[in-house]
Structure 1
Amino acid sequence: MGIAIDKENTKFLNLLLIADLAFISVHCFYLLGIVTGPLYSIETDMGYAEIYQYIKECWIVVLLFILAIDRRRIIYLSWSLLFMYLLFDDSLQIHERLGEYLAQYFELKPMFGLRAQDFGELGVSMLFGFLLFSFIGASYLVSDNLEKQISKRLFILVVLLACFGIFVDILHTAIPWDQVFELFGLLEDGAEMIIVSFIVWFTFSLGKSQVNPSEIQGNN
């Protein structure tokens, strides 16, 4: 694909993952009562781990936006907008707030162990996902083969992120048992941190990539 995966890039990924594992370990100490204070939990809004997550998401947005300008390709801009939404959604709780409003406006009812607000949140996520991926899809159609391969990899990573951010979150809410509840919380937020680190590393690698025209032709 012409993406540079050298020792420097690998070291960068390792640093990101070490930081993720450090936050996850501190969260486990918090659950065991070894450390106190909710800011040490990876589930706490505006906690230490979540601020770190916001910084990584900001890096992704900036790196993709720079690629869009440098290479004059709209596909990178479309992906940058998607991650910008994810950053704002995480930091400003967009789908939670709009989901609560939709649940009240449409008088949604709780079902299957889920709150009415959960259905509203799912509707908001699906709406923004449809709009943003429509833009990405349109950009994909006018992209060259290399950019399509890059988009496919980003799409896989985003799908993995959605699986933990949306579907595991639903299970997290629906299952009432305390020990399983803590396990789902750790799985959801810990996996999200690791996946976002891989996306940071991937977009960073794109900026250092050396495009080989013969590779592009070979993938046609």
Structure 2
Amino acid sequence: MPIAPFVRETLAVLKEIAGARSLRTAALFVSPYAGLLVGLDVAAHYGELTDAHLPVQFFLASDQGFGEWFEYALTAAVAAMLLVMWRWDGASVYLANAALFAWLTLDNSIEIHERFGHAFTSWFAGWPLPVAPNDIGEASLFLAIGAFWLAALCLSLHGARLRPAVESLILAGCVGAAAFFGVIVDLVVVWGSHTQAMIELETFIEDGGEFAMICLAFLIAVALFDAARRRRSALGGEPPALVAA
């Protein structure tokens, strides 16, 4: 793929996303609730330090907590939008990312990576690392899924038109950043011994960073979906009933 056209298209798409009215509208609805969830998470971590323990649902990454349910909604919505864009456009890069966000929704909701880590603890026992075997198992599953997704994305990018390729890589960047917090920072949290204050701070950075990247991916997906809908309408295609309504 030629570099100059790719850079021009990337800058054009980023400018379109930044100026999208749909992104600002979505942010208007998402930001207050996201801010409330972050505030609850900060309060919960402070409560752990002061022995004023708050409900576990206040933590962003607490299973079936308030933050987790919000993330389910966002990742499922991104998967649905990308699936519709694939049906409209036929570009397989949209399908690859839709599958990934569907997996993220499923994994978060039924704790696949946690179950895997505990089920295969014996595989990772005895490793000369200051990390529990189940944590190594969780990270290994994430890396395996990430490698599979990257392979599928690379195959779908081969021969893809410029705009779908650029849009998919932008979303891939959000996923990569979320994975950094969810895997790398998570390993830092469980690596060796830490003071309680450091654990609470590191956990907040891990969960907050992953949460922020998921929110950003949702807002970008909304802007891309709305732009695709407008292009489809301008070319004479009928937008879906749920958008038209």
Q: Answer whether TM exceeds 0.5 for this pair.
A: yes
| SS of alignment partner, residue 43 of structure 1 | coil
Map 1:31-50 onto structure 2 (within 5 A): 31-33=45-47, 36-50=54-68
Q: 1:150 aligns with which of 162, 167, 171?
A: 167
Q: 1:21 aligns with which of 31, 35, 47?
A: 35
CA distance in 2, matches of 1:71, 1:183: 44
CA distance in 2, matches of 1:158, 1:129: 10
Q: 1:201 aligns with which of 219, 230, 235?
A: 219
Q: Where does the alignment leave 5 or more consecutive residues of structure 2 unmatched?
A: 1-11, 232-245
Which deviates more from structure 2 when the two are superposed, residues 94-103 or residues 153-162? 94-103
Which deviates more from structure 2 when the two are superposed, residues 123-132 or residues 72-81? 123-132
Map 1:18-167 onto structure 2 (within 5 A): 18-33=32-47, 36-104=54-122, 106=123, 108-167=125-184
Provide the residue aligned with 1:9 in structure 2: 23
What letter corresponds to residue 116 of structure 1 in structure 2?
P
CA distance in 2, matches of 1:29, 1:101: 33
CA distance in 2, matches of 1:13, 1:161: 19
CA distance in 2, matches of 1:30, 1:98: 27
Deviations 1:55-84, CA, capped at 9 Å, x for gaps: 111111111111111112211111100111
Which deviates more from structure 2 when the two are superposed, residues 165-174 or residues 2-11? 2-11
Q: Which has the higher contact order (CA 8 A, sep 6+)?
A: 1
Q: Where does the alignment leave 5 or more consecutive residues of structure 1 unmatched?
A: 212-220
CA distance in 1, matches of 2:74, 2:168: 19
Count of residue pairs brought into register by the alignment? 211
* Alpha-carbon offset, residue 46 of structure 1: 0.5
* Alpha-carbon offset, residue 188 of structure 1: 1.1
Q: Following superposition, which runs of at least 4 residues in structure 1 exceed 6 angstroms of deviation?
A: none
If the length of structure 1 is used for normalisation, what is the TM-score? 0.87
CA distance in 1, matches of 2:43, 2:137: 34
CA distance in 1, matches of 2:209, 2:31: 11
| SS of alignment partner, residue 61 of structure 2 | coil
- Structure 1 residues 24 and 110, CA, compared in 2 at 3 Å: closer, same or farther? farther
Indicate if the aligned counterparts of 1:78 and 1:132 stay in contact, CA closer than 8 A.
yes
* Alpha-carbon offset, residue 35 of structure 1: 7.6
* Alpha-carbon offset, residue 14 of structure 1: 4.1
